[in-house]
């Protein structure tokens, strides 16, 4: 299993991935799931991948040389595409290429063709774009209403993203948020693990010097892990315990009167009266 997340903001893009793979309880390995394609001053693109490792590695290799027919023009590649949409089309074609080559053999072996990818960046002459690519090679694009994508083990890290991330979120704040999202996933799922790969891209830079690997000795991630756990506990402890006798609470309920919700017994069942 894996967890990858990417966020599109007014200020730039944030990408984060873990590096744990497993093929059973005793076959746990480390493989990088992020790759950056960069031509400074012309384009910056980042690819995150989840799913079957052999498929995602094949897609990444083919993507380097994949060409997409472009009418009478020069065939499209990720290096000459003039839009991120066309670069995403090239990626989708690479996925279908691998499926055409390996899909039947995988199916005969009882293995699903399972790969999910996040692909984003900016090409000179247009704005930043972010896509989620599926196993069929089709894709969707991030919007102001949906400014982030997750692939892999996404459920544990989603709540904090939903509460914090908007297009107006500053770049460093979004980086902190996706790290908290990853920490929550690491806490709850052993199939996601360090080291992490993170890339921050500032709008219109067309290159990035903020690409890093976060391992077990990273002091910032240690601090974030300890502080997040402590602050969650403090907030939890500050909330009143429920009462069951109808006595008043200190904090009024927004949708009900300022008293606890009693339970009415109905035989062996209990029903909340709201």
**Packed helices 53-63 and 84-108: angle between N→C axes, nearest 10 degrees:** 140
Asked, for residue 237, whether it belongs to a domain, the answer is: no
Question: Is residue 187's pLDDT more than 90?
Answer: yes
Asked, for residue 39, whether it belongs to a domain, the answer is: yes
Q: Are residues 202 and 259 in the same domain?
A: no
Question: Is residue 8's pLDDT more than 90?
Answer: yes
The pLDDT confidence band at residue 265, using thresholds 50, 70 and 90, is very low
Which range is least confidently modeled, 6-10, 105-109, 134-138, 269-273? 269-273
Q: How far apart are CA 233 and CA 29, in angstroms?
A: 33
Q: Average pLDDT in the 238-267 region?
A: 62
Q: Are residues 127 and 10 in the same domain?
A: yes
Q: Are residues 141 and 174 in the same domain?
A: yes
Q: Are residues 124 and 251 in the same domain?
A: no
Question: Is residue 155's pLDDT more than 60?
Answer: yes
How many domains does one find in the chain? 2
Residue 188, φ and ψ in degrees, nearest 5: -105, -10
The pLDDT confidence band at residue 1, using thresholds 50, 70 and 90, is confident
Q: How far apart are CA 189 and CA 221, in angstroms?
A: 17
pTM for this entry: 0.89
Q: Are residues 273 and 157 in the same domain?
A: no
How confident is the model at residue 245, as a pLDDT? 80
Domain assignment of residue 267, given as a range:
246-274
Output the DSSP codes for 108-150.
HTT----EEEEEEEEETTS--EEEEE-TTS-EEE--SSS-EEE
Q: What is the CATH number of the domain that holds 135?
A: 3.60.20.10
How confident is the model at residue 266, as a pLDDT? 46
The DSSP call for residue 68 is B
How confident is the model at residue 244, as a pLDDT? 85
Q: Average pLDDT in the 231-252 region?
A: 84
Sign of CA dihedral 127, 64, 209, 15: positive
Asked, for residue 22, whether it belongs to a domain, the answer is: yes
Question: Is residue 132's pLDDT more than 70?
Answer: yes
Q: Are residues 119 and 40 in the same domain?
A: yes
Asked, for residue 93, whether it belongs to a domain, the answer is: yes
Q: Are residues 193 and 262 in the same domain?
A: no
Q: Answer for the pair 16, 196: CB distance below 8 angstroms, yes or no.
A: yes
Asked, for residue 241, whether it belongs to a domain, the answer is: no
How confident is the model at residue 251, as a pLDDT? 58
Asked, for residue 65, whether it belongs to a domain, the answer is: yes
DSSP-based three-state secondary structure for 54: helix
């Amino acid at each position: 299993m894996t967890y990858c997340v990417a966020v599109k903001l007014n200020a730039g893009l944030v990408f984060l991935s873990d590096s744990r793979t497993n093929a059973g309880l005793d076959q746990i390995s480390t493989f990088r799931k992020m790759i950056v394609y960069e031509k400074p001053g012309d384009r910056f693109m980042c690819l995150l991948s989840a799913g079957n490792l052999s498929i995602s590695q094949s897609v990444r290799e083919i993507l380097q040389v994949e060409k997409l027919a472009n009418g009478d023009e020069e065939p499209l590649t990720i290096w000459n595409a003039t839009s991120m949409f066309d670069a995403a089309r090239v990626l989708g074609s690479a996925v279908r290429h691998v499926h055409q080559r390996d899909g039947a053999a995988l199916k005969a072996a009882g293995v699903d063709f399972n790969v999910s990818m996040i692909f984003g960046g900016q090409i000179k002459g247009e704005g930043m774009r972010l896509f989620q690519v599926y196993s069929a090679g089709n894709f969707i694009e991030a919007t102001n209403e949906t400014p982030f994508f997750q692939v892999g083990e996404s459920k544990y890290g989603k709540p904090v993203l939903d509460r914090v991330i908007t297009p107006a979120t500053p770049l460093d704040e979004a980086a902190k948020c996706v790290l908290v999202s990853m920490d929550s996933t690491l806490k709850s799922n052993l199939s996601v693990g360090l080291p992490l790969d993170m890339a921050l891209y500032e709008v219109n830079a067309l290159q990035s010097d903020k690409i890093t690997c976060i391992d077990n000795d990273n002091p910032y991630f240690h601090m974030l892990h300890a502080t997040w756990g402590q602050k969650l506990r403090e907030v939890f402890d500050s909330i009143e315990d429920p009462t069951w006798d109808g006595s008043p609470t200190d904090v009024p309920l927004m949708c009900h009167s300022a008293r606890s919700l009693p339970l009415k017994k109905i035989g062996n069942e209990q029903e909340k009266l709201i």
